[in-house]
Structure 1
Amino acid sequence: MKTLVLGFLLMAVCSALSPEEIQRLEKMPGHMKPFGSAGPYFDIPVVNEYPSTRDFFNKYVIGSTPLVIKGAVKETIAYRNWTDEYFIQHPKSKELVFAEARKKEVRTEGGFTISFRKYVKHYTKKAMYMVNGVPKFLKPDVPLPNPLKCKEVMAKLADTVMWYSDGGTRSVLHNDDVDNINCLYRGNKTLVFVNRFDTDNEWVNKVIEHPESSY
């Protein structure tokens, strides 16, 4: 499987860059094209089951190396049962969640609170994007990945977040202050990674919209 690892940004952010920097970027491959479309491309390791805790942390977490684990959640209740009908009919689905009134992330604008059941009934009819902790009544459906089940790791887990929409959502270019395991249950998701260690820090801090770290 191939994904994108960017060592440079392929668009000009006029409000943050000098005229000279903009001219330099305009000459780069991929200028004014979709972010990441010009590569460079690198092979990402693909496995069919979770590695051991030791290998997971030593090879991937500490080494800051992306990893694709195919079929890792197929045996979970969430993978088998999570449908709109399942959510709506759940007796505890009135739990409140946070949603954004747009599909393109704008972190300076707020969102709104809505019951999970109501969100599921309307998210395909309006531009809404739920970004919320997994509702309490659904957490038993999502088991903790095997490499994270030791006490030392469990004590440091930050959150379990649920992204839920009918597609077409886009995030800002940002930096996460925690390591992530993205579990895809429906649809598809494209991740573009920027290797800031191979790029000038001053320049990266200008173009990453939220370098202060937030997931």
Structure 2
Amino acid sequence: MMNCQLITLLCLVSGILATAPEIEKLVNDAGHLKELGVGRPMYSLEEMDGFPFTRLFFENYARPLKPLIMKNAAKLSPAFEKWTDDYFLKLDEPPEHTISIELKKKENRTFGVDDIAFKEFVRVYNESDIYMVNGIPPFIASDVILPGPLQCESLLDTLIDAVMWFSSGGTKVDFTKYPGLAEIEYYKVIMEPGDCLYIPYKWIHHVRSDGSNIAVNIWWDHFEGLNANLDHCQDKFDPDMTMDKVTLKGFSGAMLSVAAIR
């Protein structure tokens, strides 16, 4: 992950023509044409077992924009045990239902997006370069628990979206095209099945996967969340509060919030 304050710098640097000596230096860099982050300084993250309670999470991580890895937290969701290809293929998917897939694992928007049935994606993804980036299909939303720190009633109106990433894995960076990447500091996180990661507002991330994996991203309104009254948030979680029981306002709704407009 890298702090998003660097994004503008990256966009500008990538558009500047490097001199011959600069190009030679970049080509000889240990990370050139390697996976993102290779050859750069790496920093580790704080971690804890399971979800922190709401007030602790906001005081120690959300407000100071500090990332956190929550070991085994996703194991609370039925999805951890249930989500296999066989399970998906046996689902009763509505005939009109489709999901959005991207045609290349690198997010190059020129490759386009396509819509296919979820079960059709499951049948072909292991033999192709496609991957799914889509809201959780409604017929499996009950398999995913709303993360504990966001279950406080005063935060439910801040929920924006729940995005499911599904890929067969496998994805080098060209420093001559993107020289700014040769100067970035990274936080390295090795996640195991069942782990959750909090990525702070204005941070971006890169995922390196060696095999098939599924991830669910829960997006919530940073502005509204930090202003929410947490005094009545209880130090407990409800394992029955699944994603089919919450309302997501979407990104357009988030941009209408007073804090975002300011």
TM-score (norm 2): 0.57
Alignment correspondent of 1:196? none
List per-residue Cα deviations over 1:135-188 (Å, max 9, x = no partner).
011111001011001233221111100010111149999xx96789xxx9x649
Residue pair 2:65, 2:201 contacting (<8 A) in 1 also: no
Residue pair 2:167, 2:214 contacting (<8 A) in 1 also: no
* Residue 131 of structure 1, CA deviation: 0.6
Alignment correspondent of 2:84? 83
Residue pair 1:61, 1:179 contacting (<8 A) in 2 also: no
List per-residue Cα deviations over 1:40-77 (Å, max 9, x = no partner).
22231111111111111121111111111111011321
Alignment correspondent of 1:164? 166
Q: Secondary structure at the match of 1:158?
A: strand
* Structure 2 letter corresponding to 1:74: K
Output the aligned Cα RMSD: 3.9
Residue pair 1:48, 1:72 contacting (<8 A) in 2 also: yes
**35-44 or 120-129: which moved more?**
35-44
Matched, 1:55 2:56: yes
Structure-2 separation of matches of 1:24 and 1:62: 40
Return structure 1 stretches of 4+ with deviation > 6 angstroms: 6-9, 170-173, 176-180
Structure-1 separation of matches of 2:213 and 2:42: 23
Structure-2 separation of matches of 1:86 and 1:59: 38
Q: Closer, same or farther in 2 for the Cα pair 1:100/1:20, shift >3 Å?
A: same
Structure-2 separation of matches of 1:132 and 1:187: 15
Quick check: which one's helix share is greater? 2
Alignment correspondent of 2:25? 26
Structure-2 separation of matches of 1:68 and 1:85: 29
Residue pair 1:99, 1:132 contacting (<8 A) in 2 also: yes
Flag the structure with more relative contact order, 1 or 2, with Cα contacts below 8 A and sequence separation at least 6: 2
* Structure 2 letter corresponding to 1:41: M
Q: Secondary structure at the match of 1:155?
A: helix
Residue pair 1:14, 1:22 contacting (<8 A) in 2 also: no
Match among 146, 153, 156 for residue 155 of structure 2: 153
Structure-1 separation of matches of 2:132 and 2:63: 31
Q: Closer, same or farther in 2 for the Cα pair 1:23/1:106, shift >3 Å?
A: same
Q: Secondary structure at the match of 2:109?
A: coil
**86-95 or 17-26: which moved more?**
17-26
In structure 2, list runs of 5 or more residues that go unmatched.
182-199, 216-262
Match among 106, 128, 137 for residue 126 of structure 1: 128
Residue pair 1:93, 1:115 contacting (<8 A) in 2 also: no
Residue pair 1:93, 1:117 contacting (<8 A) in 2 also: no
* Structure 1 letter corresponding to 2:54: T
- Provide the identity percentage: 31
Q: Closer, same or farther in 2 for the Cα pair 1:21/1:144, shift >3 Å?
A: farther
Alignment correspondent of 1:144? 146
**105-114 or 76-85: which moved more?**
105-114
Structure-2 separation of matches of 1:107 and 1:14: 20
In structure 1, list runs of 5 or more residues that go unmatched.
190-215
